[in-house]
Amino acid sequence: MRSLLTDMLLQRLSAHTQGPLHRRLYDCIRLAILEGVIGAGSRLPPTRDLAGALSLSRNTVSTAYEQLLAEGYTFTRAGSGTFVTDHMPDGAMAPVNEQPPASRRLAENEFSQRGAHLLAKTGASPHQWGAFMPGVPDVSNFPHGLWRRIHSRLIRRIKPDYLTYSRMGGSPDLQQALVDYLRVARSVNCEAQQIIITEGTHQAVDLLAKMLCNPGDRAWIEEPCYWGLRNVLTVNSVEVVPVTVDNQGISLPDVPAEGDAPRLICVTPSHQYPTGAVMSLTRRQRLLALAQECGAWVVEDDYDSEFRYSGNPIPALQSLTPQAPVIYIGTFSKTLYPGLRISYMVLPLALAEQMRVAHAELYRGGHWITQLVLAQFIAEGHYASHIRRMRLLYGKRRTVLSRLILQHLGEDALRDDSNAGLHLVMSLPEEVDDERLARDAGRQGIYVRPLSTYYLTSERKKGLLLGYACVDEAAIEPAFSVLMACLARQTGAGAF
């Protein structure tokens, strides 16, 4: 029986020539598990099948399987076979002693300095679902039926254009649907030609960094800040300068001297990521004035503002004054699902045309059909009603989680009173090691992010980001109890 897995194991076995055969097979399977090629929960092929496919004795395969089982990479279920575990054993990421089976060994400076820096500062998690993964919407509620119906209707009258590279910064239908939606939902006034559809906010920022910044130019970023923004800027050789955030949002310094002026000022005014602060009107006005004065562009990342559970929506910074030097970025990752990879930028008219050309040159753009379906989905009102439905659901989940935090740790642990978004910050005392706590929780199947890792300077606050949007209401309390048990192991009893 040949499969992609057995083909890969055959290739790797032939390149890995040192040591007994069962040990080499063990190395290859272990590496495939660590790389995620064999995912958590997947069943390994039965020993007889794998032995046949690799032309090995069944004994060799059984010995390799036994070693993986003994070290905690797999578990067995009576009568069902051998499965890859969810939780990697301690030290699993340690390098194997033997020569790696890869055919080429990497030189010390194989990666560019930018690349090496990126690899040293990664933030993307292999876990993208479950309690309490921050920023993940409840994708299990996506209205596939509606989507499928629009899609079927569309491809009945398909045109060659739909299957070619996209031009003009994306589908004009989607651009127009966004113009109408943004005017009502976010007070953003723009024309279709100002909109570029991008594959995620990351691509939007990548384009801005490449087109508006020279290597060494500065971007002011919020402190703390979303790690993804930081990484995309840094990999483009933009120097990121952290600017402290308080409960009114970014706390701007005086106008800098000419040589120190930023090219970009990146902010999350409606719901600061990750603290939840809403930028005050005074700060907004000052930000726009400062940007004008030093010739900077303000990049407004409006990633989850659709989810406010009380009070009025907070209008976008872009809408504050006509001709504001603001590049507005929105995403469907939180309102629909992250894997859709559709976001958009609203550019000032002066930039729009050349940026559309650059976008087509750099990324070519595609997914025209998906963009058309999305345009219809918005125009027919399904988008707004999906958001309304999810807002109700997430609001209840947030209430449950807030109550638990207050109940177990008191008011000091819950400083985020924005009542918005998809996550909460649970503050912790300085002496708690939030990174260790997050690792410990991860081993118990609870995924959280340590607040301290969102800071660049030493003024790091301790806490955990807890996402509630993708956790059923009934599952919140049991998951929270596991987290509290991890915290108790670190602090003795209560945290405060």
Ligand X SMILES: Cc1ncc(COP(=O)(O)O)c(C=O)c1O
Binding site for ligand X (CB under 6 A): 135, 200-202, 226, 228, 268, 273, 301, 303, 331, 333, 338, 343
Select 194 or 198, whichever has its Cβ closest to ligand X.
Answer: 198
User: To the nearest whole angstrom, how small is the minimum distance from the Cβ of residue 215 to ligand X?
Assistant: 23
Q: Which residues contact 51 (CB under 8 A, 6 or more apart)?
A: 57, 58, 60, 61
**Residue bearing tokens 């999810």:** 390
Task: Report yes or no: 170 and 310 within 8 Å, Cβ to Cβ.
Answer: no
Which uninterrupted H or E stretch holds 217? Answer: none
User: To the nearest whole angstrom, how small is the minimum distance from the Cβ of residue 415 to ligand X?
Assistant: 18
| DSSP secondary structure of 225-236 | --HHHHHHHHHT
Select 226 or 368, whichever has its Cβ closest to ligand X.
Answer: 226
Chain centroid to Cα 66, Å, comes to 36
User: To the nearest whole angstrom, how small is the minimum distance from the Cβ of residue 262 to ligand X?
Assistant: 19
Strand, coil or helix: 245: strand
User: To the nearest whole angstrom, how small is the minimum distance from the Cβ of residue 140 to ligand X?
Assistant: 18
User: To the nearest whole angstrom, how small is the minimum distance from the Cβ of residue 402 to ligand X?
Assistant: 20
Greatest CA separation for the chain: 74
User: To the nearest whole angstrom, how small is the minimum distance from the Cβ of residue 200 to ligand X?
Assistant: 3
Which uninterrupted H or E stretch holds 196? Answer: strand 195-198
Identify which of 108, 240, 136 has the alpha carbon closest to the alpha carbon of residue 469.
136
The rounded distance, in Å, linking the Cα atoms of 178 and 168 is 15
Query: Which tokens go with 171?
Result: 């589908």
User: To the nearest whole angstrom, how small is the minimum distance from the Cβ of residue 111 to ligand X?
Assistant: 23
Beta bridge partners of 76: 82
User: To the nearest whole angstrom, how small is the minimum distance from the Cβ of residue 308 to ligand X?
Assistant: 16
User: To the nearest whole angstrom, how small is the minimum distance from the Cβ of residue 303 to ligand X?
Assistant: 4
The rounded distance, in Å, linking the Cα atoms of 148 and 136 is 23
Select 226 or 297, whichever has its Cβ closest to ligand X.
Answer: 226
Q: Provide the sign of the torsion angle of the four alpha carbons 414, 433, 251, 275, taken in this order.
A: negative
Identify which of 157, 187, 189, 190 has the alpha carbon closest to the alpha carbon of residue 376.
157
Select 173 or 300, whichever has its Cβ closest to ligand X.
Answer: 300
Select 136 or 446, whichever has its Cβ closest to ligand X.
Answer: 136
AA letter at 453: T
Which uninterrupted H or E stretch holds 328? Answer: strand 326-331
User: To the nearest whole angstrom, how small is the minimum distance from the Cβ of residue 228 to ligand X?
Assistant: 6
CA distances to 41, 86, 299, 451, 452 from 78, in Å: 15, 18, 55, 41, 43
Select 268 or 376, whichever has its Cβ closest to ligand X.
Answer: 268
Task: Report yes or no: 114 and 234 within 8 Å, Cβ to Cβ.
Answer: yes
Select 273 or 468, whichever has its Cβ closest to ligand X.
Answer: 273
Chain centroid to Cα 495, Å, comes to 29
Select 22 or 284, whichever has its Cβ closest to ligand X.
Answer: 284
Select 306 or 440, whichever has its Cβ closest to ligand X.
Answer: 306
Select 303 or 468, whichever has its Cβ closest to ligand X.
Answer: 303
**Residue bearing tokens 């009025």:** 312
